[in-house]
């Protein structure tokens, strides 16, 4: 493995999961695969932190789960964003953009 | 919202744990399969895919644990598990559980009961709206021979204060008054108050039925009106709402009932049932001679106590300039109502709280000791848990949960004990603590009880828990290597015993000082002989007794009737019998001596008596003669003084024949000639030294305060035996006068010591408890140590040591701990007992006799506690001991 997968910036995992689910509802494994793909292998989630985050988001009412058959006809719990989750994602995306731009400006200053 | 959702989901998963876990397991299982499938798809061989999956599975189990323990309900569940386990452990050792819970219950019960007293007396709001804005206003008198910063004000000062202050919303006055209620059945006397018009508005209390007084009714001679308590309304009028407008006969006068107060209302005294207007005459309103009103006020919103005091100081200074003769130097003193009610008992209550808290600490030390002993027994169990991978924190938590369980059980039983003891406490405190009728286990008290229980659980649980979770697992599992851990445990236990003995010493010293003080009080020379005296109260009031001669005839007739009773030697009447905390004072001027300055008239206590009063009380007449019935308004005005007055005002002179005059130079009062000197009597209370007092004969005292209330009868046998015939004797003269407060003088004396008796009793109980606990502590540690040293003792005996040596060895080990504890306790006592100086009489707070006696007592108890384990040690069979282990 050339590049060691990076640790996520504290607090961003929730945002990434919300983003993933905003595209399309999916199950836990789907989330981890998609995050890995979209980040081109930079972020790899272990099952512990993934399901801990899922439980947290569920309890906060940001996502909600439903048992459904997968394409391989297996039962899996599919998660989808709630309205509240969508609002949170929008807020966090905007905030993230603002902060990233600001950090970028600071780092680029000579 | 989300908190609520979290709670709901949490509770759901707590109650449906199985289902929730299954769901999580299923979800994780699906995840795992997907991983395996993906691996296979990527072309990994079956074997490698399986290995990858197995790797993942390991982390999945962890994931399950991580997810589960992140939920708050898992914390609760672990607690429940621990509690469950703890309960099982306790059930397995019922002896330990019973001893621990019982001692805890005693400690917590005592603390709860005392706190309920403290809460009611010192913390709970008074039952009036915004009661924290209510203050009492007193005169502060700095006379050369009389200083009192809580002197009841004169009506003149009350009038001027009300008119000139700018800091009070309302100011009112009252004066205690009992009423003879007649009309139906036996006459009864009902306690009440004469109150100024602003009385109820100041309290912000209104009538529940009818109305309170209007200002026009607070005038002399205006129609007689009264309001009554809810209790009187129910008991005497059957809660009839048509009672308004009815007449009630008070002291032979018809009063119209205009209102009934809300249930539970009382002010100022709990037994007050009737209130009538004060109705001062215009002359009385400006009088500054008699100081008999109680004055209270409500602070204006936003005005602080200090601001009010500053402004009242200005008013008082102004009055001193206007009326130098009566007011020079007289200041106004503002005291918050709560402080006025509870201030005097606060120090003693706080000392009691301290003592009972010490008892709880001793209980904690004792239970910690028991737990440490058990830690030895459970050593293997805990080592196994540690070896199997339980975290030390987890083990400590389990053990602390067990302590909390003990504490909660102790709390439950303790609250029950407190509940039972509150009844007794109410009786004990009735005559010496304010608001005793309100003692109960209210919410705050129960909360306090729970809080101290949990705190106690932590205190006694922490050290044993850490002690148990310490130590190396490998060492622990090897049998026979327990000594090092046990030795450290013994050190901790010895320390606890030293602490326990020291705390116990403190409490017992407190009790010892109170015992010494009480013995002193019992021996105080009161100046009269209470044995064989009966006392009761009959107050002749009403139209028939307006004139002095009518009253005099009444007293004379009743006394003759009483004397005629079989078993009666003599009888007399007096304003107030001694030891009832009642006294009045008057200004006077000695013939030929000018006052040293304006307002600097000497002041002395006074009483008014019938002839034969001193003879009946067995107060020795030192010089001159007693009053006679022939001393009358037509003969020379006379007075008798006590020894203290003679010594103070006529030192080295013969006071007989000297003359003085009441109230400076008021011509309404004639010169009075001293005709006798009597021995000093403790008038106010057994603890207050006799002060100068002057006695006046009833037949010459025509003023309104010349009404005698209390009667004394000297009997040949037991005074109780004539008690039943007294009312008939009184009623043969006037059948409308109630006879109340029938008591022997011994009872009066006993009541006058009620607060000392209560302190002594409570402290005694605490001390007994502390002593018992300390004894158990010493015994427990020694027994443990002997059991542990069986082999050593066996070797000693095998090598030829005498049993006597072994006995000495063990006892000296115990006594080292005990003496260290006693020594520590001595230091503590020297530092702390001065807090008790207000509770003790006639002994110093570092009384050497008490200190030595208590140290000796603790020493003896400690030897007794050491003796049993020591005896057991001498019975050790060397052969058995050497085979041991």
Residue from B108, B87, B100 nearest B411 by CA: B108
Confidence of residue B802 (pLDDT cuts 50, 70, 90): confident
With an 8 Å Cβ cutoff, are A27 and B31 in contact? yes
Closest-CA distance of chain A to residue B389, Å = 21
Nearest to B33 among A58, A74, A77 (CB): A74
Q: How far apart are CA B488 and CA B493, in angstroms?
A: 9
Whether the predicted pLDDT of B486 surpasses 70:
no
Segment A102-107 shows an average pLDDT of 89
Whether the predicted pLDDT of B478 surpasses 70:
no
Is A6 within the bounds of a domain? no
Residue pLDDT, tens place only, B205-214: 999 999 999 9
Contact B563, B603 (CB under 8 A): no
With an 8 Å Cβ cutoff, are B1 and A61 in contact? yes
Residues of A with CB under 8 A from a CB of B: 27-29, 33, 46-52, 55-56, 58-61, 70, 72, 74-77
DSSP classification of residue B369:
H
Is A5 within the bounds of a domain? no
Closest chain A residue to B68, measured at CA: A52
Q: Which residues of chain B have a CB within 8 Å of the CB of A56?
A: 70
Is A2 within the bounds of a domain? no
With an 8 Å Cβ cutoff, are B30 and A60 in contact? no
Whether the predicted pLDDT of B476 surpasses 60:
no
Q: Which residues of chain A have a CB within 8 Å of the CB of B66?
A: 48-49, 51-52
Contact B176, B269 (CB under 8 A): yes
Whether the predicted pLDDT of B712 surpasses 60:
yes
Question: What is the DSSP code string of B527-580?
Answer: SS--TTEEEEE----SGGGSSHHHHHHHHHHHHHHHHHSTTEEEEEEESS-TTS
With an 8 Å Cβ cutoff, are B34 and A76 in contact? yes
Residue with tokens 């979290």: B6
- Residue B787 CA, distance from chain mean position: 45
With an 8 Å Cβ cutoff, are A61 and B33 in contact? no
In this prediction, residue A3 carries a pLDDT of 43
Nearest to B60 among A33, A47, A75 (CB): A47
Residue with tokens 């009036």: B128
Q: Does B38 touch chain A (CB under 8 A)?
A: yes
Confidence of residue B388 (pLDDT cuts 50, 70, 90): confident
Closest chain B residue to A72, measured at CA: B34
Confidence of residue A2 (pLDDT cuts 50, 70, 90): very low
Q: Does B70 touch chain A (CB under 8 A)?
A: yes
Closest chain B residue to A33, measured at CA: B35
Q: Which residues of chain A have a CB within 8 Å of the CB of B6?
A: 59-60
Name which residue leads in pLDDT, B144 or B385: B385
Contact B555, B698 (CB under 8 A): yes
Is A1 within the bounds of a domain? no
Q: Does B591 touch chain A (CB under 8 A)?
A: no
- Residue B242 CA, distance from chain mean position: 42
Closest-CA distance of chain B to residue A80, Å = 15
Assigned token pair, A83:
């309205």
Q: Which domain holds residue A70?
A: 12-108
Closest chain B residue to A26, measured at CA: B31
| Helical segments of B602-650, H only | 613-617, 643-649
Give the pTM.
0.80
In this prediction, residue A75 carries a pLDDT of 82
With an 8 Å Cβ cutoff, are A29 and B71 in contact? no
Confidence of residue A1 (pLDDT cuts 50, 70, 90): very low
Nearest to B63 among A48, A61, A74 (CB): A48
Which of A33-37, B24-28, B663-667, B745-749 shows the lowest mean pLDDT across its residues? B663-667
In this prediction, residue B574 carries a pLDDT of 95
In a 13 Å sphere around the CA of B312, the CA atoms on its Cβ side amount to: 28
Segment B457-464 shows an average pLDDT of 86
Averaged confidence pLDDT in chain A:
82
Averaged confidence pLDDT in chain B:
87
Q: Which residues of chain B have a CB within 8 Å of the CB of A50?
A: 63
Nearest to A29 among B5, B34, B59 (CB): B34
Q: Which residues of chain A have a CB within 8 Å of the CB of B30?
A: 27-29, 70, 74-77
Is A95 within the bounds of a domain? yes
Residue pLDDT, tens place only, B276-325: 999 888 888 888 878 889 999 999 999 999 999 999 999 999 999 998 88
Q: Which residues of chain B have a CB within 8 Å of the CB of A70?
A: 30, 34
* Contact partners, residue B21, CB within 8 Å, separation at least 6: B68
Share of chain A above pLDDT 70, in %: 89
Whether the predicted pLDDT of A55 surpasses 80:
yes
Q: Which residues of chain B have a CB within 8 Å of the CB of A74?
A: 30, 33-34
Whether the predicted pLDDT of B273 surpasses 90:
yes
Is A37 within the bounds of a domain? yes
The domain total for chain A is 1
Is A3 within the bounds of a domain? no
Q: What CATH number did the domain enclosing A78 receive?
A: 1.10.10.10
Residue pLDDT, tens place only, A10-49: 568 888 889 889 888 888 888 888 888 888 878 877 777 7
Nearest to B28 among A47, A58, A72 (CB): A47
Residue pLDDT, tens place only, B365-386: 999 988 888 777 777 777 788 8
Q: Which residues of chain A have a CB within 8 Å of the CB of B56?
A: 47
Contact B248, B255 (CB under 8 A): yes
With an 8 Å Cβ cutoff, are B31 and A75 in contact? no
């Amino acid at each position: 493995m050339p590049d060691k997968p990076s640790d996520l910036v504290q607090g961003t995992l929730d945002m990434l999961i919300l983003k993933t689910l905003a595209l399309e509802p999916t199950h836990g494994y789907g989330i981890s695969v998609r995050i890995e793909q979209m980040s081109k292998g930079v972020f790899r989630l272990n099952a512990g932190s993934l399901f801990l985050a899922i439980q947290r988001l569920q309890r906060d009412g940001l996502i909600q789960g439903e048992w459904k058959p997968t394409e391989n006809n297996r039962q899996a719990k599919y998660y989808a964003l709630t309205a509240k989750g969508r609002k949170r994602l929008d807020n966090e995306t905007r905030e993230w953009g603002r902060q990233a731009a600001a950090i970028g400006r600071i780092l680029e200053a000579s | 919202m989300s908190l609520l959702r979290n709670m709901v989901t949490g509770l759901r998963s707590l109650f449906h744990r199985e289902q929730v876990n299954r769901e999580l397991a299923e979800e994780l299982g699906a995840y795992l399969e997907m991983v395996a499938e993906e691996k296979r798809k990527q072309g990994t061989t079956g074997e490698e895919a399986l290995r990858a999956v197995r790797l993942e599975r390991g982390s999945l189990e962890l994931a399950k644990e991580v997810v589960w323990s992140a939920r708050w309900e898992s914390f609760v569940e672990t607690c429940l598990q621990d509690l469950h386990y703890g309960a099982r452990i306790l059930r397995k050792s019922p002896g330990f559980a019973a001893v621990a819970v019982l001692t805890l219950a005693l400690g917590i019960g005592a603390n709860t009961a005392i706190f309920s007293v403290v809460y009611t007396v010192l913390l709970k709001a008074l039952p009036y709206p915004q009661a924290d804005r209510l203050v009492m206003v007193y005169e502060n008198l700095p006379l050369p021979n009389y200083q009192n910063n809580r002197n009841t004000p004169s009506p003149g000062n009350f009038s001027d204060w009300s008119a000139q202050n700018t800091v009070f919303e309302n100011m009112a006055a009252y004066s205690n008054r009992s009423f003879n209620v007649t009309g139906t059945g036996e006459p009864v006397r009902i306690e009440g108050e004469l109150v100024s018009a602003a009385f109820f508005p100041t309290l912000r209390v209104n009538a529940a039925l009818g109305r309170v007084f209007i200002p026009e009714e607070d005038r002399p001679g205006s129609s007689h009106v009264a309001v009554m308590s809810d209790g009187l309304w129910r008991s005497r009028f059957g809660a009839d709402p048509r009672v308004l407008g009815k007449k009630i006969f008070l002291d032979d006068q018809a009063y119209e009932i205009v209102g009934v107060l809300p249930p539970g209302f009382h002010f100022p005294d709990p037994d007050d049932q009737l209130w009538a207007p004060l109705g001062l005459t215009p002359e009385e309103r400006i009088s500054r001679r008699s100081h008999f009103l109680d004055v209270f006020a409500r602070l204006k919103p936003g005005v602080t106590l200090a601001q009010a005091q500053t402004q009242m100081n200005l008013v008082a200074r102004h009055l001193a300039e206007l009326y130098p003769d009566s007011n020079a130097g007289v200041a106004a003193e503002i005291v918050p109502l709560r402080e006025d009610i509870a201030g005097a008992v606060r120090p003693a209550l706080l000392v009691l709280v301290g003592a009972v808290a010490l008892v709880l600490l001793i209980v904690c030390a004792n239970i910690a000791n028991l737990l440490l002993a058990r830690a030895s027994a459970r050593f293997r169990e805990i080592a196994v848990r540690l070896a199997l991978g339980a975290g030390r924190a987890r083990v400590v938590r389990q053990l602390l949960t067990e302590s909390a369980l003990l504490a909660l059980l102790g709390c439950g039983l303790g609250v029950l004990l407190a509940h039972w003891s509150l009844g007794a406490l109410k009786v004990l405190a009735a005559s010496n603590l304010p608001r005793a009728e309100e003692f109960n286990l209210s919410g705050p008290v129960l909360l306090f009880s729970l809080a101290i229980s949990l705190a106690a659980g932590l205190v006694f649980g922490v050290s044993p828990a850490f002690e148990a979770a310490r130590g190396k697992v490998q060492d622990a599992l090897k049998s026979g290597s327990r000594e090092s851990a046990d030795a450290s445990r013994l050190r901790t236990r010895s320390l606890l015993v030293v602490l326990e003995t020291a705390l116990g010493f403190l409490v017992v010293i407190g009790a010892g000082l109170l015992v010494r003080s009480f013995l002193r009080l019992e021996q105080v020379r009161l100046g009269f002989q209470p044995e064989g005296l009966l006392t009761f109260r009959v107050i002749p009031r009403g139209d028939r007794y307006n004139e002095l001669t009518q009253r005099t005839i009444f007293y004379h007739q009743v006394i003759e009737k009483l004397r005629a009773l079989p078993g009666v030697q003599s009888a007399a009447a007096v304003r107030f019998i001694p030891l009832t905390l009642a006294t009045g004072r008057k200004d006077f001027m000695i013939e030929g001596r000018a006052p040293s300055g304006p307002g600097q008239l000497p002041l002395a206590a006074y009483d008014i008596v019938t002839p034969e009063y001193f003879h009946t009380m067995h107060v020795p007449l030192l010089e001159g003669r007693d009053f006679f019935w022939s001393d009358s308004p037509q003969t020379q005005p006379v007075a008798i003084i006590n020894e203290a007055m003679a010594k103070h005002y006529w030192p080295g002179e013969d006071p007989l024949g000297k003359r003085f005059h009441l109230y400076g130079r008021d011509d309404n009062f004639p010169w009075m000639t001293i005709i006798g000197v009597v021995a000093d009597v403790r008038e106010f209370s057994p603890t207050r030294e006799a002060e100068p007092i002057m006695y006046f004969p009833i037949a010459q005292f025509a003023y309104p305060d010349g009404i005698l209330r209390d009667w004394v009868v000297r009997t040949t046998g037991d005074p109780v035996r004539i008690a039943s015939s007294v009312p008939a004797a009184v009623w043969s003269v006037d059948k409308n006068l109630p006879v109340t407060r029938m008591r022997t003088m011994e009872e009066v004396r006993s009541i006058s010591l009620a607060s000392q008796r209560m302190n002594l009793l409570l402290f005694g109980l605490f001390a007994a408890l502390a002593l018992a606990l300390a004894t158990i502590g010493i015994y427990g540690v020694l027994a443990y140590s002997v059991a542990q040293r069986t082999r050593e003792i066996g070797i000693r005996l095998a090598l030829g040591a005498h049993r006597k040596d072994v006995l000495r060895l063990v006892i000296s080990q115990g006594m080292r701990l005990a003496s260290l504890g006693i020594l520590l306790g001595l230091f503590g006592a020297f530092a702390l007992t001065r807090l008790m100086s207000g509770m003790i009489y006639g002994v110093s707070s570092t009384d050497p006799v008490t200190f030595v006696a208590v140290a000796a007592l603790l020493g003896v108890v400690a030897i007794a506690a050491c003796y049993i384990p020591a005896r057991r040690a001498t019975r050790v069979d060397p052969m058995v001991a050497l085979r041991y282990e």
